[in-house]
Structure 1
Amino acid sequence: MQLDEDDMITNIFWADDRSISDYNLFGDVVCFDTTYKTNEYDRPFAPFLGVNHHKQTVVFGAALLYDETKESYKWLFETFLGAMSGKQPKTILTDQSAAMANAIEKVFSETKNRLCVWHIYQNAAKKLSHVFHGPGQFATDFGNCVYDHEEEEDWLLAWSNMLEKHNLTENKWLKNVFDVREKWAMVYGRHTSTADMVSTTRSESMNNILKRYLKSSYDLLSFFEHYERVLGDRRYKELTADFKMMHTLSVLSASVEMLQHAEEMYTPEIFSLFQKQYTVIGDYVAKKVSKSEMVYEYKVSYRGGPKEHLVNYDAINQVVECS
């Protein structure tokens, strides 16, 4: 707890042993969200969320903040790191907030800060309501700029065309979003691990869960008691998934050694993702185009289509690089 000069509580953070243990296992990617206010003091409630091996939401800790200033965030992130033995996440997904970004830069020096795409969509729908749901398909064009394009040059052209098409070249909100494009556009984030949480519907679904448990009329003590119930129910769901996993076998799409091995190693949820990727491999065509000493170069296309990717394989160092 952080106290002010009158010994009144300002910021509170809490995490139990199980949350700390979960963070140790699954804390590579953290979703941090302050959009949910549900207590009689109307303070931001800020959970640190992640995803476990069953692709379920796990809670690494939570805070009740006095305000959303850089100082409060800095205190919270330092306290969080202290509780987690100094282990920094690889990626933190957040809303667009200058104070938060500033504190993340100071405290999580080794962490990539990506913006929640879900929040960007929500803000776009509010700030650009006159075109967002209009006949000009702005939402589709904007969505393409979020998720599509593999080359920065193509992306910049698509963004410019979108602004021209919808007469938004002078729009202030879009200018601000463009300035932080490297934090949200997929073209800049393909090499950043996000544990499949990039759309952060995860924090939103967590907010819906919290609304069922936490009422704004609760005092601090009741709030904590009901929060414990949220954690208890989350953990029971994981236990149920563990039990189910031990008593069911996944269906293999083909009787091949790699899938048999993956089925033994992974939970059913993760195996299902792996198997989908394995099946898609069949639709890729690889052609060897050159070899110099022990470096092989391939051109790879999907279903033999015109778009080709260059893949280099360094056989000596066993390193693969893809364009």
Structure 2
Amino acid sequence: MFINEYDAEMMVGNLMKKKEHLPEFSCEYFTDDESCLVGLFWSNGESKRNYQVFGDIMSFDATYRSNRYSMVFVPFTGIDNHNNNVSFGAALLASETPETYKWLLRCFLKALVGVTLCNTTDFKQRICDIVWTDSLSPDEFEVGWHSVIQDFDLSDNNWLADIYDMRESWIPAYYRDELMSGLMRTTSRY
């Protein structure tokens, strides 16, 4: 039995309101052709912080079917320094198909693995090449930035969108023609 359209709208609506008001809250869902909820994933700020600290080992257990809709509850958990379980996120799935698990793992990666992305050598090199150089013009920076965002599928990353909006105040390409000699002090020379 799938969650009906009314219950799905109410449940998803409540989570989407949280997403609007809590910037660290993540929520993704999908429905079938009849508007029945097929998958729902969520993770809050505390869960994301848990993942950053304790995410080196994780499990997800898709054996819980104790709700009235017979959906599978899938908690993502880890263990903290005191051997206690900590939550990284959770999901409800109407079916256990390869497609629903692919969707679920993509949601998890999108919401929680910024640390992993930063440790990816190719990403780190490409982002540093466009951010930490004064040899690019603003137009060249824009092309490079959009290329990295597209290549690593980061168009929904809120943090990157926020820092991009402030790019003129911190990206060297935007102030490379400014004279900075007045900022140098004798104590800053070695």
Give the greater-gyration-radius structure (CA): 1
TM-score interval, normalised by the smaller of the two chains: 0.3 to 0.5
Q: With the length of structure 1 as denominator, give the TM-score of the two structures.
A: 0.26
Q: With the length of structure 2 as denominator, give the TM-score of the two structures.
A: 0.44
